[in-house]
């Protein structure tokens, strides 16, 4: 950190590797990075990677040489690919207020044992016109070989997204994308996508057309992605003049604990195991399709390590026979951890019971009533001895206490009527002895 001057970092990596049918090699990579954001919102950065020798190879670069003896990956004994020597890149971005956003970027790359180099620079612009989004990018690439011969090409792309209908949780978007390469083909793609079923089902249809040579110029595609309680289902179908392709997939997460197996959607490497015993089908965390399973369990993923993460239940969709004492739990996971987010629940009928003593008077105002066998089901008596209780069985015992004395407690047998009143609330009367 350089305070008002921005941020600077330097790191070095030492690597020792062995390619297929090759000797052990050793190399170093030095990297310097700098970034700064000005008061005007301008962000700029520079980075340079220097490979001290041609012996440096990354893990994936090394493993690629071993796939099926290297023959299916473009490698073979005696083959020596070009080794990067240096890559220097710069970028600058500038917000333009209501006019949009402008960015510039570029890099140069050189190689060991070869005088060739590659240069690239580009400019991008994006803006929002109401709810319509527009993005335009232009990139120029130039490759110079060891003999000084140059080859250049220019890439231009345009992307437009337009929402249909009013502002809602499930808008439908129409898109257009164009990609053009100098001296090459130009492709055009029209699409439309959206979400239905409370954002659980995402659909996407596209029609692509390519100018230029070749016979297979048009292509149509449909993509579906359903996110449910027990995982994610994907499907796709595409066709053109010469081929038809279809595919399907299943993704999910399986967590085994002492309480059993919990199946949920893909969750990354840091997640919460949500426990709301007996409360099924309740949305969790606001993520599409993430709901508690038949036991009241699920997983909530993509948590931020070493920070407070709030796990929430949607109380508006609780079953009529269930209640929770809190609708949010805060967890602080370490990276790669599975943390428990436990909610205290009571499962049973919601009852407004009137409690009276043997002499016909109501139990005292403020008396605490607890359903036997349900520690989470507690209520406080109001005027006239009325108590609101959750988790009540059809017939159960309620313990009432309004002090510590021998005569300041009683118990009542409560029978719940068969039919519920408005909002699923049952009524009952009982004598407390």
Query: Do 336 and 383 lie in a common domain?
Result: no
**What's the structural domain count of the chain?**
2
Query: Do 280 and 331 lie in a common domain?
Result: yes
Instruction: State the first-to-last Cα distance of the chain, in angstroms, to the nearest integer.
Output: 72
Residue 121 lies in a domain: no
Neighbours of 165 (CB within 10 A): 9
Query: Do 311 and 354 lie in a common domain?
Result: no
CATH code of 363's domain: 2.60.40.2070
Residue 85 lies in a domain: no
To 5 degrees, how large is the angle CA 395–CA 400–CA 401?
A: 165
Domain enclosing residue 422, as ranges: 348-431
> pLDDT-derived band of residue 112, with 50, 70 and 90 as boundaries?
confident
Residue 89 lies in a domain: no
Instruction: Give the domain-ending residue among 284, 312, 346.
Output: 346
Question: What percent of the chain lies above the pLDDT cut of 70?
Answer: 91
Please give the mean pLDDT across all residues of the chain. Answer: 87
Q: Is 82 helix (H, G, I), strand (E, B) or coil?
A: coil
Query: Do 327 and 360 lie in a common domain?
Result: no
Contact 221, 209 (CB under 8 A): no
Which of the listed ranges 27-41, 294-308, 398-412 does the model predict with the highest average pLDDT? 294-308
DSSP 283: B
Beta-bridge partners for 244: 239
Residue-level pLDDT at 424: 76
14-29 burial code (b ≥16 CB/10 A, e <16): ebebebbebeebebeb
Residue-level pLDDT at 310: 96
CATH code of 286's domain: 2.60.40.2610
User: 345: which 2 tokens?
Assistant: 């629940």
Mean pLDDT for 412-419 is 84
Residue 328 lies in a domain: yes
User: 39: which 2 tokens?
Assistant: 């008061």
Instruction: Give the domain-ending residue among 314, 346, 378.
Output: 346
Instruction: Give the domain-ending residue among 320, 346, 372.
Output: 346
In this predicted structure, the answer to whether residue 74 has a pLDDT above a threshold of 60 is no
Query: Do 353 and 426 lie in a common domain?
Result: yes
Least confident of 115-129, 188-202, 220-234, 392-406: 392-406
Residue 337 lies in a domain: yes
Residue 424 lies in a domain: yes
Pairing of strands 395-401, 368-371: antiparallel
Query: Do 309 and 355 lie in a common domain?
Result: no
Give the pLDDT confidence of 221-267 residue by residue, as tens digits: 999 999 999 999 999 999 998 889 999 999 999 999 988 999 999 98
Query: Do 309 and 288 lie in a common domain?
Result: yes
Residue 201 lies in a domain: no
Q: What is the pTM of this model?
A: 0.72
Identify the CA nearest to 141 among candidates 168, 108, 119. Answer: 119
Residue-level pLDDT at 227: 96
Residue-level pLDDT at 213: 63
Mean pLDDT for 205-223 is 85
Residue-level pLDDT at 323: 84
CA pair distance 362, 387, nearest whole angstrom:
11
More confident residue, 41 or 25: 41
CA pair distance 101, 105, nearest whole angstrom:
14
CA pair distance 276, 292, nearest whole angstrom:
8
Question: What percent of the chain lies above the pLDDT cut of 90?
Answer: 53
Query: Do 365 and 325 lie in a common domain?
Result: no
Q: Taking the alpha carbons of 345, 346, 350, 354 in that order, is the dihedral positive or negative?
A: negative
Residue 422 lies in a domain: yes
CA pair distance 293, 317, nearest whole angstrom:
14
Give the pLDDT confidence of 164-176 residue by residue, as tens digits: 876 666 789 999 9
> pLDDT-derived band of residue 276, with 50, 70 and 90 as boundaries?
very high
Q: Is 395 helix (H, G, I), strand (E, B) or coil?
A: strand
Query: Do 367 and 425 lie in a common domain?
Result: yes
CA pair distance 233, 93, nearest whole angstrom:
38
Query: Do 273 and 334 lie in a common domain?
Result: yes
Q: Is 251 helix (H, G, I), strand (E, B) or coil?
A: strand
């Amino acid at each position: 950190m350089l305070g008002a001057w921005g941020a600077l970092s330097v790191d070095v990596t030492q690597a020792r590797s062995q390619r297929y049918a090759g000797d052990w090699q050793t190399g170093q990579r030095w990297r310097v990075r700098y970034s700064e954001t000005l008061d005007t919102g301008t962000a700029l950065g520079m980075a340079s990677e220097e490979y001290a020798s041609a012996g440096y190879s990354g893990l994936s670069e090394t493993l690629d040489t071993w796939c099926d003896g290297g023959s299916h990956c473009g490698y073979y004994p005696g083959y020596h690919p070009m080794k990067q020597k240096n890559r220097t890149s710069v970028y600058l971005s500038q917000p333009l207020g209501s006019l949009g956003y402008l960015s510039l970027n570029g890099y140069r790359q050189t190689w060991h044992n070869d005088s060739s180099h590659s240069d690239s620079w580009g400019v991008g612009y994006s803006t929002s016109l109401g709810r319509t989004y527009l993005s335009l990018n232009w990139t120029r690439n130039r490759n110079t070989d060891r003999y000084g011969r140059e080859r250049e090409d220019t890439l231009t792309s345009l992307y437009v997204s337009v929402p249909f209908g009013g502002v809602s949780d499930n808008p439908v978007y129409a898109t257009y994308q164009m990609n053009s390469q100098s001296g090459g083909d130009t492709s055009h793609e029209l699409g439309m996508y959206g979400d239905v079923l409370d954002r659980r089902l995402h659909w996407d249809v596209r029609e692509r057309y390519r100018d230029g040579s070749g016979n297979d110029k048009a292509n149509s595609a449909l993509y579906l992605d359903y996110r449910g309680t027990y995982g994610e289902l994907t499907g796709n179908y595409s066709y053109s003049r010469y081929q038809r392709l279809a595919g399907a997939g299943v993704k999910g997460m399986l967590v085994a604990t002492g309480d059993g197996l919990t199946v949920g959607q893909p969750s990354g490497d840091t997640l919460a195991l949500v426990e709301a015993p007996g409360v099924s089908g309740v949305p969790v965390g606001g993520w599409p399709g993430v709901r508690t399973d038949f036991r009241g369990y699920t997983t909530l993923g993509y948590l931020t390590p070493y920070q407070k993460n709030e796990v929430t239940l949607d109380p508006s969709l609780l079953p009529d026979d269930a209640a929770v004492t809190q609708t949010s739990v805060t967890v602080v996971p370490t990276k790669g951890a599975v943390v428990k987010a436990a909610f205290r629940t009571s499962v049973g009928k919601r009852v407004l019971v009137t409690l009276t003593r043997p002499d016909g008077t109501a139990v005292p105002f403020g008396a605490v009533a607890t359903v036997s066998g349900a520690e989470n089901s507690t209520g406080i008596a109001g005027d006239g001895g009325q108590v609101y209780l959750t988790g009540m069985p059809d017939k159960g015992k309620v313990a009432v206490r309004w002090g510590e004395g021998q005569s300041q407690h009683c118990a009542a047998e409560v029978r719940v009527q068969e039919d519920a009143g408005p909002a699923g609330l049952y009524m009952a009367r009982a004598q407390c002895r």
